[in-house]
Amino acid sequence: MPTDDSYREAASVEELTQRNVETIVELERKARLNCSFSDKGANFIARFCGSMTFVWVHVVWFTSWVAFNTLPKEHHFDPYPFTFLTLVVSLEAIFLSTFILISQNHDARISERRNHLDLQINLLSEQENTKMLTMLERIGEKLGVQVDDDPSVRVLDKATRPDQLVEQIEAATRLSGQKG
């Protein structure tokens, strides 16, 4: 993973973004390594179930099953209406849905972690921007530069309070829910 100094020494935007990409790839790799055995198994099964190979395996399996049990002969292990096939497919559906849910839960945990990281970076960015506005205002005053009394700059000069934003969002959501 890139070091703090390597970010400062980037020669171009492309180099900086490449380092960012490498950092995220490394974080994802570490997250995959920290998966439990059951998460890894469920992810593998979910990926396989979402492939055309899975579809073709089932096409061949169902065709063979039906053909074997409908060909003229003395004994069929699952004659029409294929009750045993229905049981097997139902059990498969139960297990596959469970594996897919486990995989989705794992993906949701990773997504929640990414969202938390995004939020922390955004809050840090906002705090840095607020500090820069304050510093620019002080520099302007020291240099005798006329500072416009822009009300939006005065508002943006204040630190953002995430707890107040959440309250505003919840209030707006409640209002829009009442109107709809």
pLDDT tens track of the chain, all 180 residues? 555 555 567 778 888 888 888 988 888 888 888 888 888 898 899 999 999 999 999 999 999 999 999 988 778 899 889 999 999 999 999 999 999 999 999 889 888 888 888 888 888 898 888 889 888 888 888 888 876 666 777 677 677 777 887 888 888 888 887 775
Q: Given the structure tokens 């039906």, which residue do they identify?
A: 66
- Supply the pTM of this predicted model: 0.65
User: Which distant-in-sequence residues (6+ apart) come within 8 Å of 46 by Cβ?
Assistant: 99, 100, 102, 103, 104
Percent helix / strand / coil, the chain, rounded to 5: 80, 0, 20
Q: Tell whether 54 and 90 lie within a shared domain.
A: yes
Which residue segment(s) compose the domain that 8 sits in?
Answer: 1-34
Q: Tell whether 126 and 172 lie within a shared domain.
A: yes
Q: Tell whether 40 and 81 lie within a shared domain.
A: yes
DSSP 180: -
Q: Tell whether 94 and 152 lie within a shared domain.
A: yes
